[in-house]
Chain A
Amino acid sequence: MENYRANLLLCAGTGCVASGTPKVTAALREELEKKGLSDEIKIVYPEEIFYQKLTVEEVPKLVEEHFLKGRPYEKLMFKEPEKRAAIPLMNEIPFFKHQVLRVLRNKGLIDPESLEEYIARDGYMAAAKALNEMTPEDIIAVIKDAGIRGRGGAGFPTGLKWEFASKSKADQKYMLCNGDEGDPGAFMDRSVMEADPHSVIEGMIIGARAIGSSKGVIYVRAEYPLAVERLQRAINLCRESGLLGENILDSGFDFDLEIYLGAGAFVCGEETALMRSIEGQRGMPRPRPPFPAHKGLWDKPSVLNNVETLAQIAPTVLNGAEWYRSLGTEKSAGTKVFALTGDIRNVGLVEVPMGIPLKTIIYDIGGGMKNKKKKFKSVQMGGPSGGCIPEDLINIPVTYEDVVKTGAIMGSGGMVVMDEDTCMVSTSKFFLEFTADESCGKCTPCRVGTQVMLDMLTDITEGRGKEGDIEILEDLSRDIISTSLCGLGQTAPNPVLSTIRYFRHEYEAHIRDHWCHAGICSDLASFHIIEDLCKGCGACLRACPQQAVVGEKKKPHRILQELCIQCRSCYDACKFASIDIKRALPKEKPEPVAVEEGGS
């Protein structure tokens, strides 16, 4: 290697190239040539000086000052931005630091009601590329190579879905969007539709081109009025500007779409039920095959994609499959949006690369437990179809495969975080109440089975549990899973199975000891003040709705058990962890009442 006096590095990243690196390079070479320095200076880093905001006009001055006179050209030197101690920077806050925004690329940046602002952020450039420069096969190849998997929950490869539909022959095909987000604790689809409706529309245009569809429907639940309003406005703007309708962007391609309002039934998130619902029938699933790619809406080939899936189509088409695969793992590529809720500090919407440890999401991004004194217990993933992941599995990487191994599912991305004050039996009862209620009733295992399971769980939480109940629950779960028609029944028992798997001791304590350690099941707990820890602050006394707490200020208080209704208010109010939850006190048996034989 030749020896040089100085070395000058120019940044040629996307941002810099766009701001004019090539011009600066050319000007530099020319200037060095002029001064006869071209052999001495390769293109300054022994002195570690970082110049910024170079322009062609500044180059002669820079060369003269630095390379001829040997002193740094101060005007362009990078200065540390003044330290603002009080307001942290983005990369100092873990909530922002670990996130990578692709689906949420326009989150909080653009006005969702402005088409121009979406276009300013590369909007509809991917559609322009797909319609004018790519064949349907090209588009499908990019999506397949990228390895995009359905973000609605099941993780089916999107490219394959498109390929099946594109090969089906029909006079009409449908491109559908599933915005029927129904999992309790999930709100990412709503947020995407509200914050960036055009990203969904653009994804649908590209999908429609890939499968050869000219009509699309976005199925949104009516409970999302703001999402509906903004989507409708976005559709209207697209129609006015020719981004929807005939001959889009002079490509000769026609596509239009409309919104269909769902009534909010959970089962309508299932693809066949959703299509029946659009047809005006009762939302109930039907057996597959035929798959929707062959016979879907109105018996025509149809593709149904989730909102989040569609929102990542445009950047992938624009940047290529390699770009998409640059994040995530081999089988779970790209990023995933999660809705963090529950006992976590930073309730909100986050987007992370797949494969990130679950722990990072909960402790770094989520900021740990809302109540710092409480320990993490479990995180529920996948809503009513998912399961609870316990603390000892918190290091798993978040990918479709690793999450399934724990008995939960990736699902649509709801993460309900629970701290140690959670009763896992009532948690699984909550989800079963939901599925039993939402079961469409078409098939018996789901309609009757979930109700029987719910009745058993109710018995367990109210002190009527019997030995053998856990085993019956497990058996019943397996039967419901293997004999139900659609995803709702096939996954409804998951919350019960996963809580039995990891928290069997809690079920046993409920059944055998009549003890709910968290004090959530009021029939299975009694509350006692630990005298040594009680400071006599009176917080519990004020919180008690029954006036069951007695005691003088600054002296240990006491709970009068005969008045206590086990509402747990004292426990939540106490700041010194001085309330103990013990097993239920034996109920006094009512005196036998003599019943007189009636006679007349």
Chain B
Amino acid sequence: MPRLTINDLKKIKENQKSTFKLREGGYRAKITVHMGTCGIAAGAREVMTAVLDEISNSGAEDIIATTSGCAGLCAREPMATVEILSSPPVKYVDLNADKMKEIFKEHITGGTPVEKYAFVVGSETTY
């Protein structure tokens, strides 16, 4: 990466917004697997592998799979957040590879959140 200037910071911020909000990035869905120590200990790696397998099996190119840190609710790990373009993100808890595959089929491909594994809808407020 080249040396950054303040203008570069601003540019990156603008460019990144699109991936963040999915909008202009051309993406339809984003799956974030929470991989802090707590998540990994509870099996987040298997969940991540399931996500990557499903994406490559489906051949879809408009789905982002990414990792993030602890989502705060360590007791309910592994957790994942699924965001479909223009719908609020859904947080899933107590996951394993099989549940993740089901979520991929129902929610990401089908568009309907899987109620039985979902914990909450929406994003947290930051101040």
Contacts and interface: CB of A to CB of B under 8 A. Distances in A.
Interface of A: 81, 84, 86-93, 95-96, 99-102, 104-113, 115-117, 119-120, 122-125, 128, 132, 187, 190-191, 194-196, 224, 226-227, 237, 240-243, 249-250, 326-327, 345-350
A327 B79 CA distance: 29
Contacts of B15: 116
Given A241-B4, A243-B4, A108 B71 contact: yes
Given A107-B71, A195-B36, A89 B122 contact: yes
Given A84-B115, A241-B1, A345-B75, 10 more contacts: A88-B121, A90-B124, A100-B126, A119-B12, A194-B70, A242-B4, A249-B6, A326-B127, A327-B127, A347-B74
A361 B121 CA distance: 22
Contact of A102 (B90, B119, B126): B126
Nearest to A249: B6
Interface stretch (B50-58, B61-69, B97-105): B61-69
Can you list the 8 inter-chain pairs with the closest CB atoms, starting with the nearest? A195-B69, A120-B16, A242-B3, A108-B71, A347-B75, A86-B115, A90-B122, A87-B118
A84 B126 contact: no
B60 interface: no
Given A87-B120, A90-B123, A96-B120, A104 B72 contact: yes
Nearest to A107: B72
Given A96-B124, A226-B40, A108 B6 contact: no
A112 B126 contact: no
Contacts of A124: 4, 9
A196 B36 CA distance: 11
A119 B9 CA distance: 7
Contacts of B127: 100-102, 326-327
Nearest to B90: A87
Given A96-B124, A102-B126, A191-B70, A116 B12 contact: yes
23 contacts: A84-B113, A87-B115, A87-B119, A90-B120, A90-B125, A93-B119, A108-B68, A108-B79, A109-B68, A110-B68, A116-B16, A119-B12, A120-B13, A120-B17, A120-B20, A125-B9, A128-B9, A191-B69, A195-B70, A241-B2, A249-B4, A249-B5, A346-B75
A86 B114 CA distance: 10
B115 A101 contact: no
B74 A349 contact: yes
Contacts of B3: 241-242
B121 A111 contact: no
Interface in B35-89: 36-38, 40, 66-76, 79, 81, 88
Contacts of A102: 126-127
B32 interface: yes
B127 to A, nearest CB: 5
B70 A108 contact: yes
A348 to B, nearest CB: 4
A101 B113 contact: no
B9 A112 contact: no
A568 to B, nearest CB: 23
B37 A194 contact: yes
A119 B16 contact: yes
Nearest to A353: B127
A111 B70 contact: no
B1 to A, nearest CB: 4
A250 B34 contact: no
A159 to B, nearest CB: 21
A117 B71 CA distance: 16
Contacts of A237: 1
Nearest to B116: A86
Contacts of A106: 69
B126 A250 contact: no
A194 B15 CA distance: 24
Contacts of A92: 120
